[in-house]
């Protein structure tokens, strides 16, 4: 039989989706499963975007330009400028989700074996994107005890080798909810300048900040190192438009843009109809965001309050995004998560969590941790955490 490539065999399975068959069979047995494992928001997409799709008047669903529609890129640039983020339309290439922007970024700057330093735990698909482009992930551990703050810059620096090409951060972070401060970003800027590296920042959760005085500091505002900076963004979470598959790659570096364009041209274009929806979404009223952020903030507060009621659980309050990492009084979260679906229910209900080991690349890290997404309404969150609490008692007594 013809063989599968090493790259294909080494491609990691999604830690978020690998438990799905157990969830399906729990549902077939009639159990209700509360999904605390995925980042699919239950928030409505802005009306302006839905209306724009309904009113589309096209006789041909044509390819768009490879970099995306100019009208959309112009409006997107204005959107960033209103947030004091230093971006012009010519700095932007529209991609098929933030996922494609990450792939294009890695494909553009790495050769096989080149290294990318990433604070862990990190969004599990970074592994997959690195694997697809034959780059090597070099993790730098951030700890639950420090609330997942950036590790000391000396520790990050010690990991730099002649093969290092970039530092990749997610701000605010999935799965930690950590928000890097301006001073942490500036420390990273100093390091990439000193060693002539790229800084890639995944800012897909940039709007999701919950504490009044916190502000998001975009890497696009690092003017001194603007040739070294690549920003990745997406509409998936901002407008609850995950299925639109629209994101963007942003940089001031013309050589990077020209190379990304070659990848963009090879895949022809980002989705046409969805760009029309995204262009309209830029006119989403501020009241939409105010409501969404206030809803997530109260979900976060509810989740953390409820988790803190469980003996032996360690959790820090996330500042942004809609996830947290919780350390549970167990040894193996993979086993626990599977057991929850296969063997446990509380009055016909159970929960699905994402074991956190898949968000680390250092072996043995995160074994007793899970990622919890607060994408359920507050009533369901309270019920789900109560199920978790009762389940832990039963699991640990077995
Ligand atoms: C941190 C992070 N980056 C990128 C993505 C990919 O987003 P997109 O739907 O735009 O491809 C996600 C999706 O969950 C994410 O959590």
What's residue 213's pLDDT?
Answer: 85
What's residue 40's pLDDT?
Answer: 79
Asked if 67 contacts 261 with a C-beta cutoff of 8 angstroms, the reply is yes
d(CA 78, CA 100): 23
User: 116: CA distance to ligand 1 center in Å?
Assistant: 18
Neighbour order of strands in the sheet with 92-95: 92-95, 247-251, 229-234, 198-202, 164-170, 115-120, 136-141
What's residue 16's pLDDT?
Answer: 72
Query: Residues 136-189: pLDDT tens digits?
Result: 999 999 999 999 999 999 999 999 999 999 999 999 999 999 999 999 999 999
User: 269: CA distance to ligand 1 center in Å?
Assistant: 19
Q: Is 204 in the pocket of ligand 1 (CB under 6 A)?
A: yes
Closest approach atom of ligand 1 to CA 242: 9
Closest approach atom of ligand 1 to CA 247: 10
Closest approach atom of ligand 1 to CA 202: 3
Q: Say what the pTM is.
A: 0.96
Q: Is 39 in the pocket of ligand 1 (CB under 6 A)?
A: yes
What's residue 17's pLDDT?
Answer: 75
CA-nearest residue for atom 14, ligand 1, is 39
Quote the tokens at residue 395. 């699991």
Quote the tokens at residue 245. 């598959």
Q: Is 176 in the pocket of ligand 1 (CB under 6 A)?
A: no
Q: Is 321 in the pocket of ligand 1 (CB under 6 A)?
A: no
CA-nearest residue for atom 13, ligand 1, is 39
Element (H, E) at 20: helix 20-28
Chain CA centroid to CA 227, Å: 24
What's residue 391's pLDDT?
Answer: 97
Q: Is 234 in the pocket of ligand 1 (CB under 6 A)?
A: yes
Closest approach atom of ligand 1 to CA 170: 1
Query: Residues 43-98: pLDDT tens digits?
Result: 999 999 999 999 999 999 999 999 999 999 999 999 999 999 989 999 999 999 99
Calculate the alpha carbon distances from 243 to 14, 38, 75, 96, 251 in Å.
18, 14, 21, 10, 25
What's residue 247's pLDDT?
Answer: 98
What's residue 102's pLDDT?
Answer: 98
Mutate to test the pocket of ligand 1, among 14, 97, 126 (most ligand atoms within 8 A of CB): 97
d(CA 98, CA 235): 8
For the chain, residues with pLDDT lower than 70 are none
Per the prediction, the chain carries an average pLDDT of 96
User: 236: CA distance to ligand 1 center in Å?
Assistant: 7
């Amino acid at each position: 039989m013809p063989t599968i490539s090493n790259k294909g065999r080494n491609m990691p399975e999604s830690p978020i989706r690998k438990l799905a068959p157990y969830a399906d069979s729990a549902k077939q047995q009639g159990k209700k499963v509360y999904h605390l494992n995925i980042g699919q928001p239950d928030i409505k997409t802005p009306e302006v975007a839905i209306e724009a799709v309904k009113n589309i008047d096209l006789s041909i669903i044509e390819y768009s330009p490879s970099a995306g529609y100019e009208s959309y890129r112009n409006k997107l640039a204005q959107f960033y400028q209103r947030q004091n983020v230093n971006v012009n339309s010519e700095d932007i290439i529209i991609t098929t989700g933030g996922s494609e922007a990450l792939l294009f970024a890695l494909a553009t700057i790495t050769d096989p074996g080149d290294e990318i330093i990433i604070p862990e735990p990190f969004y599990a698909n970074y592994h997959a994107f690195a694997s697809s482009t034959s780059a090597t992930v070099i993790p730098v551990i951030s700890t639950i005890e420090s609330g997942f703050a950036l590790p000391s810059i000396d520790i990050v620096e010690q990991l730099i080798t002649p093969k290092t090409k970039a530092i990749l951060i997610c701000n605010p972070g999935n799965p930690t909810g950590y928000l890097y401060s301006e001073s942490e970003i500036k420390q990273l800027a100093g390091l990439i300048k000193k060693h002539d590296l790229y800084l890639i920042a995944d800012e897909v959760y940039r709007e999701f900040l919950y504490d009044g005085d916190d502000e998001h500091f975009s890497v696009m505002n690092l003017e001194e190192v603007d040739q070294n900076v690549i920003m990745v963004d997406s509409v998936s979470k901002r407008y609850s438009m995950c299925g639109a598959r629209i994101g963007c790659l942003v940089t001031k570096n013309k050589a990077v843009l020209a190379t990304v364009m070659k990848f963009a041209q090879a895949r022809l274009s980002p989705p046409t109809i969805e760009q029309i929806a995204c262009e309209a979404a830029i006119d989403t009223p501020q009241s939409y965001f105010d409501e969404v952020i206030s809803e997530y903030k109260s979900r976060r507060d509810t989740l953390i309050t409820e988790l803190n009621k469980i003996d032996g659980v360690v959790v820090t309050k996330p500042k942004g995004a809609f996830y947290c990492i919780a350390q549970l009084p167990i040894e193996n979260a993979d086993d626990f998560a599977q057991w929850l679906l296969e063997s446990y229910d509380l009055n016909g209900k159970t929960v699905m969590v994402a074991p956190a080991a898949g968000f680390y690349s250092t072996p043995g890290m995160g074994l007793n941790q899970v990622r919890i997404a607060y994408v359920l309404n507050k009533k369901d969150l309270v019920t789900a955490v109560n199920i978790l609490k009762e389940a832990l008692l039963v699991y640990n007594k077995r």
